[in-house]
Amino acid sequence: MTDNVKAIPVIAIDGPSASGKGTVAQAVAGSLGFHYLDSGALYRIVGLAVVRARGNLENESEVLSILLKINIKFQRDQVLLDGADVAETIRAEPISAAASKVGALAQVRAALLARQHEFRQAPGLVADGRDMGSVVFPDSVLKIYLTASAEARAERRYKQLIGKGFDANMAALLQEIKLRDQRDSERAAAPLQKYTDAFEVDTTRLTVAQSIASVLDYYHRVTVN
C-alpha cells in the first residue's frame, strides 16, 4: 500500500440497483468517520435535469450540454439542482430509469469523474456506485461487490417507495430492476461487473446490521498491516 493510498483510503462499494449499497455505505462511513459519495445521485440528477428539459436521454451531445449547464451541490441531507433540493425527487422510479440511460453515455461518465474525485478527502471516503472500484477509485483499499437476488431487491425497493409515499407495483419494480441490471451490465462504458479484486457480500439473507458488519470486518482485515 502506498502512503498516498493509505493517507486518504477509499472503500469502494459497487453493485446492482437496490442491493442496499446506500444504506450500508453510509453506515460504514459513519462508523469510520469517513466521507460518503453517493455516485448514483449524480447520474440521477443528470437524468432529472434531462427529463425536465424534455431532452433525449440517449443523445450524448444533448445530455452533455444539459449537464454542463446545471449546478449540482450536496449539502448535508440535501441534493441541490440549481439551488433546489431534489433529494426525494431523484428517487422516483422514472428518474432511476433516466439515470441508467444517461449512465450509459461515455462522455457523461467522463464529465462526472472529476466531481467524484473531489469527494476524496481526509480521513477517508466510502463511495457507492457501479464503477467506484474499477474506474473512479481503482486504488481503493477495499472493494466490495454488494449484491442480492433481484426479488429481494425489488421487495426492498417496494418498501422504500411506499414508505416515502410514492406509488409502487411489485411486478413492475421487479421487471424494471432486471432491465436496469441488464442495461448497467451490458453497456460499453464502465459496465457493472464483479471484479476479481472485489469481495462479494450477498445480502439476500443478511440483515442490514449483518451487511454493515461484514464490510467493516473486511476493512479491518485489509488494513491490519
Under the criterion CB under 6 A, does residue 15 sit at the interface with ligand C5P? Answer: no
- Sequence length of the chain is 225
Residues pairing with 143 in the sheet: 12
DSSP category for residue 8: S
Q: Looking at 20, 40, 124, 133, which residue binds ligand C5P (CB under 6 A)?
A: 40
Residues pairing with 35 in the sheet: 125
Under the criterion CB under 6 A, does residue 129 sit at the interface with ligand C5P? Answer: yes
- Other CB atoms within a 10 A radius of the CB of residue 129 amount to 27
Q: Looking at 24, 39, 143, 144, which residue binds ligand C5P (CB under 6 A)?
A: 39
Q: Looking at 44, 143, 153, 157, which residue binds ligand C5P (CB under 6 A)?
A: 44
Do residues 212 and 32 lie in contact, with contact meaning Cβ atoms separated by under 8 Å? no
Cell of 138: 481503482
Cell of 63: 445530455
CB of 225 to ligand C5P, least distance (A): 29
Tell me the H-state helices in 75-119. Answer: 93-102, 106-117
- Give whichever of 1 and 106 is closer to ligand C5P, judged by the CB atom: 106
Under the criterion CB under 6 A, does residue 184 sit at the interface with ligand C5P? Answer: yes
Under the criterion CB under 6 A, does residue 145 sit at the interface with ligand C5P? Answer: no
Q: Can you say how many angstroms the Cα of residue 130 is from the centroid of all Cα atoms in its chain?
A: 6
Cell of 95: 428518474
Binding mask 81-110 for ligand C5P (x = CB under 6 A): ---------------x--xx--x-------
Interacting residue ranges for ligand C5P, rule: CB under 6 A: 17, 39-40, 43-44, 96, 99-100, 103, 129-131, 180, 184
